[in-house]
Amino acid sequence: MIIMASLNLNAVFPIAKNKMTSIEDKVLTIQERNDEKLRNELIGDYQPFIKKVTSKVCSQYIDRTMDEFSVGLFAFNEAIDQYQEGQGSRFLSFADMVIRRRVIDYIRKEVRQNRLIFLQPDEEDEEGRLEESYAEQKAAMDHFEDQIQVENRVYEIEEYQKLLKTFGLNFKVLSKHCPKHVDARENAKEIARLLAENEELAAFLKEKKQLPIKDLLNMVSCSRKTIERNRKYIIAVSLIYLGDFQALKSYIQP
């Protein structure tokens, strides 16, 4: 009886078999086969995840009837289309980032609209109370938008740290290997940019977790020794160019 029971475990726990197919595999299947049925099932299954991320961004509970949740749904669907195998992050981490960006964009749009609708001072107010209220509300909205930007930057840094870890890197290591001279840093950034813009070299970096030094030597005028000396810094900057790190990109612009 014990043997028979063990043989029937798959029948008792059918979900165990389904878990063998990862969400990344499902996403790639949707992309390759344009499987709308699987897409809808995936979106339906992960609505709690979408709601959780959206609520966290908004700092309040978001239910399925709210506009923010709809924005999150569209963002999750967008993530399904944009996810790339081997890009250095799991699908849910990538989807989390896309949802956050789209919800933040929505919030910013709403803030701007509120400025136009509610923040017009009334010239007929003799005591200036409405103008004072206008200034207070404007300051509050400015503070709110600044807070959103700070939270977004913090989130990007956290995601970037996770990505660096997959390459055996961290901020402490990078601080030791950052080129000391401005010219050297700018040259390393340029090499990173060229790498990121080349699909084959970018794919090599993502898959092998190494710089394609031989190919880079054919594209730049510096020596192998220079590239190898700045290897870790070049990889780190390349990952910013390749990732969806809008806030961090401002730090590496020439």
Give the span between the Cα atoms of 96 and 99, in whole angstroms.
Answer: 5
Distinct helix (H) and strand (E) counts, the chain: 16, 0
- Residue 136: the pLDDT is 61
User: How far from the centroid of its chain's Cα atoms is residue 95's Cα?
Assistant: 7
Domain boundaries, the chain: 23-165, 171-249
Per-residue pLDDT of the chain (254 residues; tens, 9 = 90+): 434 443 343 333 333 334 447 899 999 999 999 999 999 999 999 999 999 999 988 888 888 889 999 999 999 999 999 998 766 678 998 899 899 888 888 887 876 665 554 445 554 454 455 455 556 656 666 666 677 777 777 788 888 888 999 999 988 888 888 888 889 999 999 999 999 999 999 999 999 999 999 999 999 988 999 999 999 999 999 999 998 788 888 888 76
pLDDT of residue 56: 87
**Measured distance CA(88)–CA(166) in Å, rounded:** 7
What whole-number distance in Å separates Cα of residue 188 and Cα of residue 192? 6
> Which pLDDT belongs to residue 230?
94
